[in-house]
Amino acid sequence: MSRDTATDELAGCESVGELLTRRRELLSAGITMAALGVSGCLGGGGGAQTATEPPQTDEEGHEEELPEGVSEEAFESGPVPEVYQRAKSLGGEERNPDDVMAKADVNFSEFDEAQEIDAHGSGECCANCADYIADKNGDTFGACAEVGGYIDGADWCTVYETIPEPSVPEGMSEDELATAEVPGEYRTATSQGDEERDPDDLRSQEDVNLTESAEAIGEETAQPGQSCGNCADFIPDKNGDGWGACAEVEGHIASEDWCVVWEQTGEEH
């Protein structure tokens, strides 16, 4: 398929879901969204993107671009960089580098392959798993509290665990979570992608289609590997109640959520 034909076909897509489906088909045909110059058209506003390019693979199926200076062996089985060795996962579990499983023992797979596995639930991927440790050193890969080696948010394994939904804070109702002012320590905090939150310049959760990551990925609104937990705008929990905040969106935000403003943490913006 030529680029012109592909561009015409994408221009004819009426919904994000349809566009994402066509995107996958075009990628299979070796035509990238970047090549078509339409990578930004999926965003819901705010100059962000809802889709990222999956890693390209060579003839043997290996990712072509490992993080700089990382061997294939280290990528597969570790060790991971120091910053991850004893880091806490999205679900609050501390990683023990002497007690992690091998990828081969947990059916570790990329999202597309995982969909063929019976145990895989709709929309499940590392980015919305309680054991995931999101990128901390700018290479976009994270780590896992249970499995060794480098982990991409769009991977999955049989140890997958749903992140428990935080309890509604005392004195607040569930309906208020989306719009209530966040505690003082979050109001002008800096996100994990170094963006300072401006409480007077935020979008509503409704406006950005905030929903749960697994649900959005399952419905193909979000790409595999996207959750608030690995978004550049996310401000992780600071007071132990399980809730975080966002530099772009108002209200209480959980790491397993997702919205159309999602941006990969670790990428240069």
Site map 189..208 versus ligand SF4, x via CB under 6 A: -------------------x
Of residues 31 and 251, the one with the C-beta less far from ligand SF4: 251
- Helix, strand, coil percentages for the chain (3-state, nearest 5): 25, 15, 60
Establish if 262 lies at the interface with ligand SF4 (CB under 6 A).
yes
Residue whose structure tokens are 């569930």:
174
Query: Among the candidate windows 17-25, 30-38, 77-85, 246-254, which touches ligand SF4 by CB under 6 A?
Result: 246-254
Residues binding ligand SF4: what is the number (CB under 6 A)? Answer: 29
Query: Among the candidate windows 22-30, 51-59, 69-77, 140-148, which touches ligand SF4 by CB under 6 A?
Result: 140-148
Secondary structure in 3-state letters for 55-89: CCECCCCCECCCCCCCCHHHHHHCCCCHHHHCCEC
Establish if 114 lies at the interface with ligand SF4 (CB under 6 A).
no
CB of 258 to ligand SF4, least distance (A): 5
Strands 155-156 and 109-110: antiparallel
Among 159, 168, 178, 180, binds ligand SF4 (CB under 6 A): 159
What's the N-to-C CA distance of the chain in angstroms?
31
Among 100, 154, 157, 182, binds ligand SF4 (CB under 6 A): 157
Establish if 234 lies at the interface with ligand SF4 (CB under 6 A).
yes
CB of 219 to ligand SF4, least distance (A): 15
Nearest one of 193, 196, 194 to 266, comparing CA atoms: 193
* Cβ–Cβ < 8 Å for 103, 77: yes
Of residues 7 and 180, the one with the C-beta less far from ligand SF4: 180
Q: Name the packing angle between helices 16-28 and 3-11 (round to 10°).
A: 160
How far is it, in rounded angstroms, from Cα 200 to Cα 244?
18
Residue type, 22: R
Q: What are phi and psi of 184, to 5 degrees?
A: -50, -35
Of residues 26 and 106, the one with the C-beta less far from ligand SF4: 106
Q: Which residues pair with 101 in a beta bridge?
A: 147
CB of 159 to ligand SF4, least distance (A): 4
Among 166, 253, 256, 266, binds ligand SF4 (CB under 6 A): 253
* Cβ–Cβ < 8 Å for 54, 26: no
Establish if 155 lies at the interface with ligand SF4 (CB under 6 A).
yes
* Cβ–Cβ < 8 Å for 56, 64: yes
Residue whose structure tokens are 């994408």:
10
Of residues 33 and 126, the one with the C-beta less far from ligand SF4: 126
**Where along the sequence are the contacts to ligand SF4 (CB under 6 A)?**
108, 126, 129, 131-132, 144, 146-147, 151, 155-157, 159-160, 208, 210, 228, 231, 233-234, 246, 248-249, 253, 257-259, 261-262
